[in-house]
Chains A and B, each alone.
Chain A
Amino acid sequence: MSTIITVTSGKGGVGKTTTSASIASGLAKAGHKTVVIDFDVGLRNLDLIMNCERRVVYDFVNVINNEATLNQALIKDKHCPDLYILPASQTRDKDALTKEGVERVLNELGERFEYIVCDSPAGIEHGALMALYYADEAIVVTNPEVSSVRDSDRILGILQSKSRRAELGLDPVKEHLLLTRYNPERVEKGEMLAVNDVLDILAIPLLGVIPESKAVLTASNQGVPVIHDVESDAGQAYEDAVARLLGEDRPLRFTEVEKKGFLKRVFGGRA
């Protein structure tokens, strides 16, 4: 039985695709056969983050329309032998995603993969609804600011009312909060919401906190998911999040302001 994990947020630009790429890579690194699907039809991005844009021939919509087989559309990841990517179509729109078509493709993928990671588009319209409809678990990506938190709250309501699990009265979709672009210095200055403020409002379990980091942008531009950058704080934080997703208990990191050492205090922060 495969597990369908949808990465969603409501709001755009909070780090859904970055998260999808890193979580899927992390699961594959841990030895699980994983596929990551780009649901953002018309605004294809995942292939760039995963550095496979030059290998896209057929896409998700082709498979839904029976114009290509899954084998023709799936792209093998360069870094992890257990990871495949199903890219979105750039020339179509989200109406091309039909409930029946998506279900057929997910069922077929479920026979081959342990984890199916769905990278949701922003918004609460058809594309986002299709990405979350079949979810078993949801990673809600949130930035520590009020509008992102409000939109995450909205998407949580939709998960619990419009998903397949909700409609059929099954066990509810398992929710995880992933706080991204977290900057402890700015939290201390009161410019950003603290972890606990967000948890207080959303009231769902915390999967991880990803610090604001230059490594994320670098990784995106190079097409290497940031989880492969094991030296970076963001990469390590994603590593922790994947471990927690797989049931491991790990303490939170990168949520406190780093104490400056003696030398730094003497010579200033730039030493």
Chain B
Amino acid sequence: MANLPLRLRASRTTLTTLEILVADPPAIANLLEEQARRAPDLFRYMPVVIDVTAVEDRLAPEELTQLIQVIEEAGLRPAAIHATADSLLTAIHALHLGQISLSGERPAATESPATDGAPEPPQATPAPPTGTGIGKVVTQPVRSGQQIYAQGTDLIVLAPVSAGAEILADGHIHVYGPLRGRALAGVHGDTRARIFCTHLEAELVSIAGQYKISEDLQATQWKQPAQIRLDEEKLVVAAL
């Protein structure tokens, strides 16, 4: 038994979930394209779970196929679909994707892997990005034209971030050095994310999509230690 070529192991992997709120493939394609233009490396080959539970009652199988197509064209790699409606099952299988249900109920599929009565492995529940992992630490200067993304975690930079450079994180961003480039925290929509820096001189700061450009940052803490957080959809710059 010891030399089996594989083994089954229950594991827990954090995946980003794309929640479909309106089943409108062209609109979704536009939105993804715009995001990909702003941060070209962000989406490239990123595995995602597509959650269609909000729209599945009205979603035709061919619409689902179309939806997956535009998501793949944006560079993302759908790994599984979160759906509970039986009507979509054939389409999901035809797309060679897995089906999962995040609320813990068994998938409607009958051919689920036999586990010989063993307890069901925990479902891959996407945890909120902030707080997972110990953060990505960068010690080299981030130069103009470079882009660094801390996926699913915080980003800590111990060197200058030059004008024309871009740093992104799903969690918080800390910069111990001049921040002269662009810093985008909570890029997957976590409004709790914050930006901390010892020398604020940024071209742009953004939290969960709310941004301010350097012109609007001059008033408070410019070239000084600062923290930036989101307070009811408004970016607040304060002394550190």
26 contacts between A and B (CB under 8 A): A150-B144, A150-B162, A150-B163, A150-B164, A153-B143, A153-B144, A153-B162, A153-B163, A154-B143, A154-B144, A154-B145, A154-B164, A156-B141, A157-B142, A157-B143, A157-B144, A157-B145, A157-B146, A157-B162, A157-B165, A160-B143, A161-B146, A201-B163, A201-B180, A203-B141, A203-B160
B115 located at the interface, meaning its Cβ lies under 8 Å from any Cβ of chain A in the complex: no
**A173 CB, min distance to chain B CBs, angstroms:** 12
B159 located at the interface, meaning its Cβ lies under 8 Å from any Cβ of chain A in the complex: yes
Q: Give every chain B residue within 8 A of A151 (Cβ-Cβ).
A: 144
Known contacts A150-B163, A157-B165, A201-B162; 9 further A-B pairs (Cβ under 8 A): A150-B164, A153-B164, A154-B144, A156-B141, A157-B142, A157-B162, A158-B145, A160-B143, A203-B159
Q: How far is the CA of A200 from the CA of B178 in the complex (A)?
A: 9
| Complex: chain A residue closest to B181, CB-CB | A153
Partner-A contacts on B (CB < 8 A): 140-146, 159-160, 162-165, 178, 180
A interface bracket (residues with beta carbon within 8 Å of B): 10 to 19
Q: Give every chain B residue within 8 A of A157 (Cβ-Cβ).
A: 142-146, 162, 165
Those 8 A-B pairs whose CB atoms lie nearest each other, nearest first: A157-B143, A153-B144, A154-B144, A157-B146, A154-B145, A153-B162, A153-B143, A156-B143
**B149 CB, min distance to chain A CBs, angstroms:** 14
Q: Give every chain A residue within 8 A of B140 (Cβ-Cβ).
A: 160
Q: Give every chain B residue within 8 A of A153 (Cβ-Cβ).
A: 143-144, 162-164
Q: How far is the CA of A158 from the CA of B143 in the complex (A)?
A: 9
| Complex: chain B residue closest to A151, CB-CB | B144
**B158 CB, min distance to chain A CBs, angstroms:** 12
**B28 CB, min distance to chain A CBs, angstroms:** 33
Q: Give every chain A residue within 8 A of B159 (Cβ-Cβ).
A: 203
Q: How far is the CA of A208 from the CA of B163 in the complex (A)?
A: 24
**A86 CB, min distance to chain B CBs, angstroms:** 30
Q: Give every chain A residue within 8 A of B141 (Cβ-Cβ).
A: 156, 203
Chain A stretch 153-184: residues in CB contact (< 8 A) with chain B: 153-154, 156-158, 160-161
| Complex: chain A residue closest to B142, CB-CB | A157
Q: How far is the CA of A197 from the CA of B178 in the complex (A)?
A: 13
**B89 CB, min distance to chain A CBs, angstroms:** 45
Q: Give every chain B residue within 8 A of A160 (Cβ-Cβ).
A: 140, 143
**B180 CB, min distance to chain A CBs, angstroms:** 8
Q: Give every chain A residue within 8 A of B145 (Cβ-Cβ).
A: 154, 157-158
Q: How far is the CA of A219 from the CA of B142 in the complex (A)?
A: 38
Residue in A150, A151, A153, A200 whose Cβ sees the most chain B Cβ within 10 Å: A153
**B166 CB, min distance to chain A CBs, angstroms:** 12
Digit string of A138-153 for contact with B (CB within 8 Å is 1, else 0)? Answer: 0000000000001101
Q: Give every chain A residue within 8 A of B142 (Cβ-Cβ).
A: 157
Q: Give every chain A residue within 8 A of B143 (Cβ-Cβ).
A: 153-154, 156-157, 160
| Complex: chain B residue closest to A155, CB-CB | B143
Q: Give every chain A residue within 8 A of B164 (Cβ-Cβ).
A: 150, 153-154
Q: Give every chain A residue within 8 A of B144 (Cβ-Cβ).
A: 150-151, 153-154, 157
Q: How far is the CA of A156 from the CA of B79 in the complex (A)?
A: 37
| Complex: chain B residue closest to A146, CB-CB | B163
Q: How far is the CA of A81 from the CA of B140 in the complex (A)?
A: 41
Q: Give every chain B residue within 8 A of A158 (Cβ-Cβ).
A: 145
Q: How far is the CA of A200 from the CA of B177 in the complex (A)?
A: 11
Q: How far is the CA of A129 from the CA of B160 in the complex (A)?
A: 24
